[in-house]
Amino acid sequence: MGLADMGFLDNIRRVTPYVPGEQPKGKVIKLNTNECPYPPSPKVRAALQGMDIDLLRKYPDPDAFELTHAIAEYYGLKDSQVFVGVGSDDVLSQCFLAFFAGKRPILFPDITYSFYDVWAQVYDIPYFQIPLKDDFSLNAEAFLRENGGIVIANPNAPTGVAESLETLEEIIKGNTDSVVIVDEAYIDFGGETALPLLQKYENLIITRTMSKSRALAGLRVGYAFGNETLIKCLKDVKFSINSYTMNLPAIIMGKAAIEDDVYFREIRDRVVATRERSKEHLRDMGFSFQDSKANFIFAKRGAGQAEEVFRALRDKDIYVRYFNKPVLRDYLRISIGTDEEMDIFFRELKECL
């Protein structure tokens, strides 16, 4: 039967999916999806080994209370101010569905996490993108226009640029009729969190992930902070989609990860130190970039070179991220690996140039 005969296709949602970075197998140097180069906390391992597998026959706690509570405690919040999901993509997509149901366009920068426009599309949310300044910083004033919601990644992706708390406050304060989401996926690596603003503004939602700074991309745990009213709305939407999003391993291991603050600080500090060292190398090799506060560097070296370098590196089993889009195509986004991985990367990069 040919496609033309399939009348039911008329009812199908038209989408252009987000394309995640490659997940190559085997022994490669993987600097393309901003994963942590270090393993998860030993306490995560212990938690998994202590898990009662027989419990898997039962549904998990729909509120994932143990995980939610551990997160709330760690950040000094009430349990009712925390929402958890299957990675921050799940949390963010549910935020879009829950908070952006108005008719006015939502706003986000034109260069930012490229999932925002995909979620807007899949949920039929009108949107308008605000150009970044030439130095990739936010044009805060441009966000003071009528809108149905705002989402800002801080530090931004793929630029790595962090905004000051003052800039964010200006946007949150100037838009009290909209929910403002601050996506803090990369905040642990050096940006200033918007958490202190949570007590001051009712319209603020902050999202986080365990995929980067807590070395748990494979576990799929993300979370959001907000006032109780917004978190309640978010939970209502979640309970309208899937009662049980967090499986037992995610609840147990996520809790163990958030509780091991010593290990968290140790691996985060190592990533930050390697990032700073990597900036020097890149500068020496003629790359230019804004000062990254994330676990990656978005770097450029002249025009028209990035794609070629990306391919040459891939041939050597070194994966970085290349975005074939007008403003981005002269850049490579390089995730920070271990010192050893970065040494190999720089050696091979030198050969490519």
Tokens of 281: 């190398």
Indicate the DSSP class of residue 263. H
Is residue 336 within the footprint of a copy of itself (CB under 8 A)?
no
Question: Which of 29, 31, 248, 320 touches a copy of itself (CB under 8 A)?
Answer: 248
Considering the complex, what minimum distance in angstroms separates the CB of residue 353 from a copy of itself? 28
Indicate the DSSP class of residue 9. G
CA distance 253 to 216: 9
- Residue 85 makes CB contacts below 8 A (sequence gap 6+) with 91, 94, 221, 222, 223, 224, 238, 245, 246
Length, in residues, of the chain: 353
Please, which residue, 72 or 253, has the CB nearer to a copy of itself? 253
Please give the single-letter amino acid code of residue 42.
P
Question: Which of 144, 145, 196, 242 touches a copy of itself (CB under 8 A)?
Answer: 242
Binding mask of the shown chain, residues 38 to 77, with x at each position contacting a copy of itself by CB under 8 A: xxx---xx--x--x-xxxxxxxxxx---------------
Please, which residue, 249 or 281, has the CB nearer to a copy of itself? 249
For the stretch 318-328, what's the b/e string if a residue is b when 16 or more beta carbons lie within 10 angstroms of its beta carbon? bbbbbbeeeeb
Number of residues that bind a copy of itself (CB under 8 A): 91
Q: Which of these ranges, 70-78, 160-168, 236-244, 338-346, lies near a copy of itself under the rule CB under 8 A?
A: 236-244
Q: Which of these ranges, 34-42, 161-169, 292-300, 344-352, lies near a copy of itself under the rule CB under 8 A?
A: 34-42
Binding mask of the shown chain, residues 117 to 156, with x at each position contacting a copy of itself by CB under 8 A: -xx-xx-------------------------xx-------
Considering the complex, what minimum distance in angstroms separates the CB of residue 192 from a copy of itself? 23
Omega cis (within 30) before 62 = no
Backbone angles phi, psi at 83, to 5 degrees: -130, 140
Is residue 199 within the footprint of a copy of itself (CB under 8 A)?
no
Please give the single-letter amino acid code of residue 35.
E
Binding mask of the shown chain, residues 289 to 328, with x at each position contacting a copy of itself by CB under 8 A: ----------------------------------------
> Would you list the DSSP string of 67-81?
HHHHHHHHHT--GGG
Is residue 258 within the footprint of a copy of itself (CB under 8 A)?
no
Omega cis (within 30) before 155 = yes
CA distance 203 to 176: 6
Binding mask of the shown chain, residues 78 to 117, with x at each position contacting a copy of itself by CB under 8 A: --------xx-xx--x---xxxxxx-x-------------
Q: Cβ(166)–Cβ(116) under 8 Å? A: no
Q: Are strands 150-153 and 180-183 parallel, antiparallel or unpaired?
A: parallel
Indicate the DSSP class of residue 202. T
Question: Which of 66, 73, 202, 330 touches a copy of itself (CB under 8 A)?
Answer: 202
Q: Which of residues 178-197 bind a copy of itself (CB under 8 A)?
A: 178-179
Q: Which of residues 158-177 bind a copy of itself (CB under 8 A)?
A: 176-177
Is residue 18 within the footprint of a copy of itself (CB under 8 A)?
yes
CA distance 70 to 259: 7
Question: Which of 209, 211, 274, 278 touches a copy of itself (CB under 8 A)?
Answer: 211
